[in-house]
Amino acid sequence: MNDMRIVERTVDTHDVKIDAKDVNVHYGTSHALKGVSVAIPDKTVTAFIGPSGCGKSTFLRCLNRMNDTIASCRVDGLIALDGEDIYDRRVDPVQLRAKVGMVFQKPNPFPKSIYDNVSYGPKIHGLTRNKAELDEIVESCLKKAALWNEVKDRLHSPGTGLSGGQQQRLCIARAIATSPEVLLMDEPCSALDPIATAQVEELIDELRSSFSVVIVTHSMQQAARVSQRTAFFHLGNLVEYGETGQIFTSPQDPRTESYISGRIG
């Protein structure tokens, strides 16, 4: 596409944050991802779309090694975060996950207070020296997650008592509290109503200024709304990866075309 855009949507000016080259994932004998290569730019929202079982969530979970928890899962290929291979033997996945935060499909706040939810990450990673610093982190993260005004008077009431949208924003606050460099989101709005979805999407757009955000979504409209780059997965292959506007107006691959226009492909 040409660069003569009136709306500021710079996507090609940033450095590559995550560089995946020829990633293959096997679950036991099934080949879940086939030779995926993607360069995810920094400070950009990248959306992964595709039908169920296409490997998009699998790939997302490779990016912070959440697949390690599945015994039968085997990952080949290179995934580099700022040029460092995250599957290197010296990498501790726990440390990696502090840098690559994750928000899940279902809002899953810990059954603890709102404050404890947000402060948990900084606490276990020893990011703060005292209570005042922790308070500060909690407040700033809740503010970033656009939740502060709604919960500031009840920080010590349980996080599970919030509404679905608030819970998901709490989970985002919790994820950004460890000051990650990349935020992975696995269908973060699939359990939310449209208003809460809009709030979370607005939040994602704001987070873009500080993080590289990767979002898996089943809603193509959501991918279109929030992302700058879109990758379409199909049957374990990365079919097409490009600027979101281009993917949604004139995709190059007929499979992408069929999928995003709702045809039996």
Which residue, 87 or 104, is less far from another protein as judged by CB? 104
Which residue, 52 or 69, is less far from another protein as judged by CB? 69
Distance CA 119, CA 138 (A): 6
Least distance from another protein to the Cβ atom of residue 112, Å: 6
Least distance from another protein to the Cβ atom of residue 201, Å: 15
Which residue, 124 or 195, is less far from another protein as judged by CB? 124
Which residue, 16 or 224, is less far from another protein as judged by CB? 224
Distance CA 158, CA 109 (A): 9
Least distance from another protein to the Cβ atom of residue 260, Å: 4
Which residue, 110 or 148, is less far from another protein as judged by CB? 110
Q: What residue ranges bind another protein (CB under 8 A)? A: 64, 66, 69, 71, 94-98, 101-104, 106, 108-113, 120-121, 124-125, 158, 160, 171, 174-175, 177-178, 220-221, 224, 248-251, 256-258, 260-265
DSSP 206-223: HHTTTSEEEEE-S-HHHH
Q: How far is CA 105 from CA 102, 168, 184, 209, in A?
A: 10, 9, 11, 23
Q: Which two tokens stand for residue 74?
A: 């085997």
Question: Which residue, chain included where needed, has tokens 């075309």?
Answer: 257
Least distance from another protein to the Cβ atom of residue 259, Å: 9
Distance CA 177, CA 189 (A): 20
Least distance from another protein to the Cβ atom of residue 202, Å: 19
Measured N-to-C along each axis, helices 164-176 and 194-207 cross at an angle, to the nearest 10 degrees, of 20
Least distance from another protein to the Cβ atom of residue 93, Å: 8
Question: What's phi and psi for 162, nearest 5 deg?
Answer: -80, 165
Least distance from another protein to the Cβ atom of residue 60, Å: 11
Give which of 80, 62, 78 is closest to 26, Cα–Cα: 62
Which residue, 41 or 101, is less far from another protein as judged by CB? 101
| Residue 147 C-alpha from the chain's centroid | 19
Which residue, 21 or 227, is less far from another protein as judged by CB? 227
Cα angle 30-49-21, degrees, rounded to a multiple of 5: 60
